[in-house]
């Protein structure tokens, strides 16, 4: 999977629509302190399904919406779209939007999807909101100080098998529901005999 283009609207300091094209090779983002370089990386993590406002340097998820300045009013929504190249499966656009008081909504190629679908799409490609490939400030220290279980999680994310845990949990839930149904069926059959 390759990231092709990131489009931000109303996300943190990006009040006007901004587009970052990610061409093959190295892409560098340079600018003075506080111009929004880290916000770009956070937008990338956010559109991939980040659920923790703390890891986006916010108190609540709505903190990602442009909060206004002395000269510009706050926005009511933030939206980030990421165009990805999925190899033989072609290109897809993943979009996340948050509106004040309405929470987040996700789309893949214009279709409404769940956060889980987006997280799985990226996890299967060994990337995602918690990918060790995204190294934000302070992350190196956190990796060094990580407990073995946390380090294992990082390795699983890097290996692209993190999505299997989600699928296993889903399968176990379905299995338990089926077992309960079978037991109920046995009881009903027993009642009829
Ligand atoms: P540095 O080089 O110092 O790490 P940076 O270029 O990475 O800086 P960021 O940390 O990405 O900069 O951006 C910080 C800026 O984003 C601050 O000016 C902050 O006020 C602004 N900002 C963050 N959240 C919002 C928001 N919700 N609304 C408006 N502006 C915001």
Domains of the chain from N-terminus onward: 2-130 (3.40.50.300)
pTM: 0.79
pLDDT in tens, 74-129: 999 999 999 999 888 899 999 999 999 998 999 999 999 999 999 988 887 777 77
Strand-pair category, 77-85 with 103-108? unpaired
Rounded Cα gap, residues 45 and 109, in angstroms: 18
- Asked whether the beta carbons of 127 and 48 are under 8 A apart, the reply is yes
Annotated ligand binding at 32? The verdict is yes
Res 108: pLDDT: 96
Q: Is 104 a pocket residue for ligand 1 (Cβ < 6 Å)? A: no
- Look at the chain and count its residues: 193
Residue with the nearest Cα to atom 8 of ligand 1? 34
pLDDT of residue 27: 87
Q: Is the beta carbon of 35 within 6 A of some atom in ligand 1?
A: yes
Residue 139 pLDDT class (50, 70, 90 cuts): confident
How sure is the predictor about 39, in pLDDT bands with cuts at 50, 70 and 90?
Answer: very high
pLDDT digits (tens, 9 = 90+) for 176-192: 999 999 999 999 999 88
Whole-number Å distance between alpha carbons of 80 and 59: 19
Instruction: Give the chain's mean pLDDT.
Output: 90
Q: Over 90: is that where the pLDDT of 155 sits? A: no
Q: Span 15-21, mean pLDDT? A: 94
pLDDT of 130 = 77
Best substitution site from 30, 38, 75, 134 to test ligand 1's pocket, by max atoms within 8 Å of Cβ? 38
């Amino acid at each position: 999977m390759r990231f092709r283009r990131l489009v931000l609207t109303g996300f943190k300091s990006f009040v006007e629509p901004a587009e970052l094209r990610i061409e093959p090779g190295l892409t560098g983002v340079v600018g003075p302190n506080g111009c929004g370089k880290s916000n770009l990386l956070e937008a990338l993590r956010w559109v991939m399904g980040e659920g923790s406002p703390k890891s986006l340097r916010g108190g609540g998820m709505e903190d990602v919406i442009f909060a206004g300045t002395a000269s510009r009013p706050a926005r009511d929504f933030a939206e980030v779209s990421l165009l990805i190249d999925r190899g033989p499966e072609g290109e897809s656009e993943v979009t996340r939007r948050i509106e004040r008081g309405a929470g987040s909504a996700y789309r893949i190629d214009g279709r409404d999807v769940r956060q889980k679908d987006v997280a799985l799409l990226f996890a299967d490609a060994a990337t995602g909101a918690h990918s060790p490939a995204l190294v934000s400030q302070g992350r190196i220290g956190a990796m060094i100080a990580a407990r073995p279980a946390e380090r294992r999680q990082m390795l699983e994310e890097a290996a692209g098998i993190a999505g299997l845990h989600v699928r296993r949990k889903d399968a176990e839930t379905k299995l338990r529901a089926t077992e309960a149904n079978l037991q109920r069926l046995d009881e009903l059959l027993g009642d009829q005999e």
